[in-house]
């Protein structure tokens, strides 16, 4: 036993020890570096410190026992392998220290390069680089800058100002014009800045540099921008980051060196080919930051054919191995290619579908896997409209289509202003030279992002793609002047508040607001594009994957619709019935007056007259819908909202009456109305006279609706159609309520239906917590349940559904009380538990009880998976969400491993 207790926890893995499936422990970057190492690709040697070590550090505030010794041992073996020692004055080994969490969080956490440089080893580095003093001193000043900013929180601008001063003194604007002496001077200036802010000298001891850098990477997990990003991307807060310590290779050693990023397919469209950016004589950070403009990867063929061919070979091998689009970071050091990173690459929604389809064609994956690799959020994005362009609109600039979509809005130049205007309900476009992680809140608030610098892999591009937000990057015709809050382009000046439109697919920028046109995916769903004929890889891929989803899914998908037109559209989109027809929507407009008469009726005759006038109107409504949904079930919900909504506002009426009285006018009628409105007035209408309560209080109201439904069904059936009505009673909390309504309804149905063959089901919504908890009893009287998760969430949490999201949810999200509004995605543990209980107890009481959901959650991807798990028969959602629900229901049916497609 004693021996076992001393077995040390393993916190450090050599690259050769890991593999791509160890992302939880080694983070994405570390796991993939290990995978590439084991594939025999040229990865600079290094090791990974695990997320476990990070978590232990973050919990206790100190490095866990044994970590220091393990780092020492791995460092020694790295030194042996490289034949160099960290910080050796003659021939130093330098390392990079990089974060790498399980899920990619681009630019959110820290990196320190060139660790191991000090006043002595800088000389050794120069010798290593063939006497290149300039390179050595440039590397040293970069270390002090990054280390100072990242590890010791020295304000980054101080270093930038010092660099600007050095360039000004030299009379240049270009870093490359600074020679070794200038850079040596800059190192001195940087050291002074460091000492001023930290109260200590820049650490000369290489191992101390390394330990502090590792600690800073651990701590960067909790940096504010990382926290915000995780919340936005729904990445759990407790994963921690791994740290990769890697032997440095240099892309800035001259014209035969360089650095770049490559994609095995176009992450924008999914098209096959060679995509990427290359920057000669530069370090990787320069490309990702978008600071200097890159050349297309193809040009590397001319610059260094050997490395280019080798890279293409590795790209093909990686794609074959990962069976997916890979993105790659590489560096060429004096003609030698090094692979610095790979991962399954982020892609646009269109590319996700196209690539999944291509990989099936290529036999690399099957259709189940293709379905797993796309998701409803991506499909929803593809259903957005695009710009409608005619001669009137000429682009004023063209950048890189970094993240698709069409966005128009007021120009803003700072993250803070974006947040401010968005909070006022404005659409804004955040315009920057380039973005950095501090702009995150502004990017979240903006409708679109436009930058004048940077490629497809710049911070703006990567983050916007991740968020599904429209982005044009690298529109270099724009001269952006942030302090003056303006940019100039094509001889025109655009000020803060002016409107621009950006197309994230083509990269084009327009002045003014451009009208939009529908997406081809919507046209396909509408039946306007034949997928077999369409010359469109996206439509073909969507068709193929949707067809597979339909074959696989167990959940049926219905729609929420209250008009024939909505029903027809939803049917084209694949709806298999109506799950919720809200009849109160049929009482608006001209019919308001009839409802008012009904409510205010003081005699049975008056009330019956109002109901008699409503009956034929309702019958026509239902005929329309039954015809459109011919042969499919239609759930009609009896009227739900508080009746006072149909009456004039109390305060207004009281004032009118008082004024009229003052003038001595005859106000008898108005007074009667005011008295009625007062009678109906409720402090909490959402908890008042609505739903089944109304039906029980106003004689004849539900009866009229039931009759209209039954008569419409009979008429449609008699004229050769097929109507399948399901009458649904809202807001039931006790079985007795349902039984009372049902007894009356059954009588009317029997009378109307006669021998027509029409069958009418009677069921209930489960949307009051008490109904969920007494579902066993309620099921005795219900032929089906439909979960009203909007009200169930409202009453389960006690959150007013019309108020709280705008009022204070931001604070709840900030505090992490929930990661997403429970009105948007089902709260599995709480409200979801009510659904589960009701489903189980309902089915126990009435085996085979039909179960559905018709709250907004029916079209939310995560919630669809939950409803699949709980065993519902169908989800019902708005017509536009129907394809999303079909896709997710298919994905839910094939997702057995719980693997993550993020």
Kind and range of the H or E run holding 124:
helix 121-128
Instruction: Please tell me the distance from the alpha carbon of residue 306 to that of residue 434, in angstroms, as a whole number.
Output: 33
Instruction: Please tell me the distance from the alpha carbon of residue 258 to that of residue 332, in angstroms, as a whole number.
Output: 5
Residue 125 binds which one of Mg ion, ligand PEP, none, with CB within 5 to 8 A depending on kind?
A: none
Site string for ligand PEP, 187-206 (x = CB under 6 A): --------------------
Residues forming a β-bridge with 95 = 115, 247
CB atoms within 10 A of CB 485: 16
Contact 397, 475 (CB under 8 A): yes
Is residue 791 near Mg ion by the rule CB under 5 A? yes
Is residue 582 near ligand PEP by the rule CB under 6 A? yes
Q: Are strands 448-451 and 492-495 parallel, antiparallel or unpaired?
A: unpaired
CB atoms within 10 A of CB 295: 17
Contact 248, 130 (CB under 8 A): no
CB atoms within 10 A of CB 527: 9
Give one DSSP letter per residue of 535-560, joined into a string.
--HHHHHHHHHHHHHHHH--SEEEEE
Tell which positions 731-770 bind ligand PEP, by CB under 6 A: 767
Q: Which is nearer to ligand PEP, 622 or 787 (CB)?
A: 787
Q: Which residue do the tokens 């042996």 mark?
A: 80
Q: Which is nearer to ligand PEP, 544 or 637 (CB)?
A: 637
Among the residue ranges 34-42, 182-190, 304-312, 783-791, the one whose residues contact ligand PEP (CB under 6 A)? 783-791
Least Å distance, CB 567 to ligand PEP, is: 17
Is residue 104 near ligand PEP by the rule CB under 6 A? no
Residues forming a β-bridge with 12 = 49
Residues forming a β-bridge with 328 = 262, 342
Contact 343, 28 (CB under 8 A): yes
Least Å distance, CB 525 to Mg ion, is: 28
Closest CA to 503 of 404, 423, 597, 435: 404
Q: What is the DSSP letter of 478?
A: -
Count of residues touching ligand PEP (by CB under 6 A): 10
Kind and range of the H or E run holding 615:
helix 604-628
Q: Which is nearer to ligand PEP, 726 or 767 (CB)?
A: 767
Q: Which is nearer to ligand PEP, 409 or 788 (CB)?
A: 788
Instruction: Please tell me the distance from the alpha carbon of residue 56 to that of residue 602, in angstroms, as a whole number.
Output: 73
Site string for ligand PEP, 629-668 (x = CB under 6 A): -----------x----------------------------
Contact 847, 871 (CB under 8 A): no
Residue 623 binds which one of Mg ion, ligand PEP, none, with CB within 5 to 8 A depending on kind?
A: none
Residue 396 binds which one of ligand PEP, Mg ion, none, with CB within 5 to 8 A depending on kind?
A: none
Is residue 767 near Mg ion by the rule CB under 5 A? yes
Is residue 579 near ligand PEP by the rule CB under 6 A? no
Q: What is the largest CA-CA distance in the chain?
A: 106
Is residue 854 near ligand PEP by the rule CB under 6 A? yes
Least Å distance, CB 724 to Mg ion, is: 23
Least Å distance, CB 855 to ligand PEP, is: 3
Is residue 852 near Mg ion by the rule CB under 5 A? no
Among 404, 788, 859, 879, binds ligand PEP (CB under 6 A): 788
Among 580, 586, 639, 772, binds ligand PEP (CB under 6 A): 580
* Contacts for 201 with CB less than 8 Å, ≥ 6 apart: 191, 194, 195
* Contacts for 817 with CB less than 8 Å, ≥ 6 apart: none
Q: Which is nearer to ligand PEP, 46 or 730 (CB)?
A: 730
Interior CA angle at 314 toward 308 and 316, to 5°? 105
Is residue 211 near ligand PEP by the rule CB under 6 A? no
Q: What is the DSSP letter of 564?
A: H
Residue 524, CB-side half-sphere exposure with 13 Å CA sphere: 24
Least Å distance, CB 618 to ligand PEP, is: 18
Is residue 562 near Mg ion by the rule CB under 5 A? no
Least Å distance, CB 833 to Mg ion, is: 19
For the chain, what is the total number of helices (H) and then of strands (E)? 37, 33
Instruction: Please tell me the distance from the alpha carbon of residue 447 to that of residue 30, in angstroms, as a whole number.
Output: 34
Instruction: Please tell me the distance from the alpha carbon of residue 186 to that of residue 166, in angstroms, as a whole number.
Output: 7
Is residue 219 near Mg ion by the rule CB under 5 A? no
Tokens for 577, please give them: 């019935």
Residues labelled catalytic? 459, 854
Among the residue ranges 79-87, 778-786, 789-797, 870-878, the one whose residues contact Mg ion (CB under 5 A)? 789-797
CB atoms within 10 A of CB 721: 15
Count of residues touching Mg ion (by CB under 5 A): 3
Residue 308, CB-side half-sphere exposure with 13 Å CA sphere: 16
Least Å distance, CB 405 to ligand PEP, is: 29
Among 138, 277, 327, 791, binds ligand PEP (CB under 6 A): 791
Among the residue ranges 73-81, 548-556, 721-729, 764-772, the one whose residues contact Mg ion (CB under 5 A)? 764-772
Residue 854 binds which one of ligand PEP, Mg ion, none, with CB within 5 to 8 A depending on kind?
A: ligand PEP
Tokens for 230, please give them: 């995780």
Least Å distance, CB 824 to Mg ion, is: 16
Among the residue ranges 206-214, 305-313, 500-508, 784-792, the one whose residues contact ligand PEP (CB under 6 A)? 784-792
Residue 789 binds which one of ligand PEP, Mg ion, none, with CB within 5 to 8 A depending on kind?
A: ligand PEP
Least Å distance, CB 42 to ligand PEP, is: 57
Among 695, 725, 855, 859, binds ligand PEP (CB under 6 A): 855
Residue 333 binds which one of ligand PEP, Mg ion, none, with CB within 5 to 8 A depending on kind?
A: none
Is residue 862 near ligand PEP by the rule CB under 6 A? no
Least Å distance, CB 700 to ligand PEP, is: 22
Is residue 789 near ligand PEP by the rule CB under 6 A? yes
Catalog residues that contact Mg ion under the rule CB under 5 A: 767, 788, 791
Catalog residues that contact ligand PEP under the rule CB under 6 A: 580, 582, 640, 767, 788-791, 854-855
């Amino acid at each position: 036993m004693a021996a076992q207790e001393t077995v040390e926890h393993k916190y450090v893995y050599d690259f050769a020890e890991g593999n791509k499936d160890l992302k939880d422990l080694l983070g994405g970057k570390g796991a993939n570096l290990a995978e590439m190492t084991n594939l025999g690709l040229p990865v600079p040697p290094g090791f990974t410190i695990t997320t476990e070590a990070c978590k232990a550090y973050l919990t206790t505030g100190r490095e866990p026992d044994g970590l220091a010794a393990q780092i020492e041992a791995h460092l020694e073996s790295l030194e042996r392998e490289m034949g160099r020692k960290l910080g050796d004055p003659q021939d130093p080994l330098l390392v990079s220290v990089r974060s790498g969490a399980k899920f990619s969080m681009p630019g959110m956490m820290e990196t320190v390069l060139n660790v191991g440089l000090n006043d002595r080893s800088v000389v050794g580095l120069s010798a290593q680089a063939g006497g290149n003093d300039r390179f050595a001193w440039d590397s040293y000043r970069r270390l002090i800058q990054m280390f100072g900013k990242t590890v010791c929180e020295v304000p980054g601008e101080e270093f930038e100002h010092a660099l600007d001063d050095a360039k000004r003194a030299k009379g240049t604007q270009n870093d490359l014009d600074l020679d070794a002496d200038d850079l040596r001077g800059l190192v001195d200036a940087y050291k002074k800045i460091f000492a001023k802010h930290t109260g200590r000298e820049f650490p000369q001891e290489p191992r101390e540099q390394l330990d502090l850098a590792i600690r800073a990477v651990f701590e960067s997990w909790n940096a504010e921008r990382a926290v915000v990003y995780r919340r936005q991307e729904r990445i759990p807060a407790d994963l921690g980051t791994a740290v990769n310590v890697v032997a440095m290779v240099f892309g800035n050693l001259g014209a035969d060196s360089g650095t770049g990023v490559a994609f095995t397919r176009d992450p924008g469209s999914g098209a096959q080919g060679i995509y990427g950016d290359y920057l000669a004589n530069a370090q990787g950070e320069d490309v990702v930051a978008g600071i200097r403009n890159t050349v297309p990867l193809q040009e590397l063929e001319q610059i260094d054919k050997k490395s280019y061919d080798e890279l293409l070979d590795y790209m093909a091998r990686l794609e074959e191995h990962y069976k997916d689009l890979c993105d790659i970071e590489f560096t060429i050091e004096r003609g030698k290619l090094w692979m610095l990173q790979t991962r399954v690459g982020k892609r646009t929604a269109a590319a996700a579908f196209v690539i999944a389809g291509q990989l099936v064609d290529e036999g690399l994956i099957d259709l189940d896997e293709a379905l797993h690799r796309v998701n409803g959020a991506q499909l929803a994005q593809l259903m957005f409209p695009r710009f409608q362009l005619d001669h009137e609109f000429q682009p004023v600039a063209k950048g890189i289509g970094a993240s698709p979509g069409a966005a128009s809005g007021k120009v803003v130049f700072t993250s803070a202003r974006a947040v401010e205007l968005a909070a006022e309900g404005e659409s804004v476009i955040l315009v920057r030279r380039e973005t950095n992680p501090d702009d995150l809140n502004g990017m979240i608030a903006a409708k679109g992002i436009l930058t004048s610098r940077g490629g497809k892999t710049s911070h703006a591009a990567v983050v916007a793609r991740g968020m599904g937000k429209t982005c044009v990057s690298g529109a270099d015709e724009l001269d952006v002047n942030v302090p003056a809050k303006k940019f100039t382009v094509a001889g025109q000046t655009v000020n803060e508040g002016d409107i621009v439109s950006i197309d994230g697919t083509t990269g084009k920028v327009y002045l003014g607001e451009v009208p939009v046109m529908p997406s081809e995916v919507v046209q396909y769903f509408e039946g306007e594009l034949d997928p077999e004929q369409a010359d469109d890889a996206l439509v073909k891929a969507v068709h193929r994957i949707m067809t597979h989803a339909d074959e696989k899914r167990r959940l049926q998908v219905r729609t929420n619709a209250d008009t024939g037109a909505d029903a027809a559209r939803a049917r084209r989109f694949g709806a298999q019935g109506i799950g919720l027809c809200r009849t109160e929507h049929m009482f608006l407009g001209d019919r308001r007056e009839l409802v008012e008469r009904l409510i205010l009726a003081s005699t049975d005759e008056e009330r019956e007259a109002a109901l008699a006038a409503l009956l034929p109107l309702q019958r026509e409504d239902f005929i329309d819908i039954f015809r459109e949904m011919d042969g499919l079930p239609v759930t009609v919900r009896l009227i739900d909202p508080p009746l006072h909504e149909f009456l004039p506002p109390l305060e207004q009426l009281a004032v009118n009456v008082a004024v009229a009285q003052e003038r001595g006018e005859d106000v008898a009628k108005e007074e009667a109305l005011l008295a009625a409105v007062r009678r109906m007035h409720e402090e909490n209408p959402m908890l008042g006279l609505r739903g089944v309560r109304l039906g029980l209080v106003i004689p004849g109201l539900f009866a009229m609706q039931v009759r209209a439904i039954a008569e419409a069904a009979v008429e449609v059936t008699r004229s050769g159609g097929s109507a399948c009505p399901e009458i649904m009673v809202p807001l039931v909390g006790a079985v007795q309520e349902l039984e009372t309504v049902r007894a009356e309804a059954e009588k009317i149905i029997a009378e109307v239906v006669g021998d027509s063959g029409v069958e009418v089901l009677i069921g209930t919504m489960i949307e009051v917590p008490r109904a969920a908890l007494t579902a066993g009893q309620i099921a005795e009287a219900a032929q089906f349940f439909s979960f009203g998760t909007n009200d169930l969430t409202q009453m389960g949490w006690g959150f007013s559904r019309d108020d709280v999201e705008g009022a204070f949810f931001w604070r709840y999200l900030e505090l992490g009380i929930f990661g997403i509004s429970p009105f948007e995605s089902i709260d599995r543990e709480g409200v979801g538990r009510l659904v589960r209980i009701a489903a189980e107890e309902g089915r126990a009481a009435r085996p085979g009880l039909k179960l559905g959901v018709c709250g907004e959650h029916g079209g939310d991807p995560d919630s669809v998976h939950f409803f699949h798990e709980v065993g519902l028969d169908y989800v019902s959602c708005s017509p536009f969400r129907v394809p999303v629900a079909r896709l997710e229901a298919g994905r839910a049916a094939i997702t057995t491993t719980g693997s993550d497609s993020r």
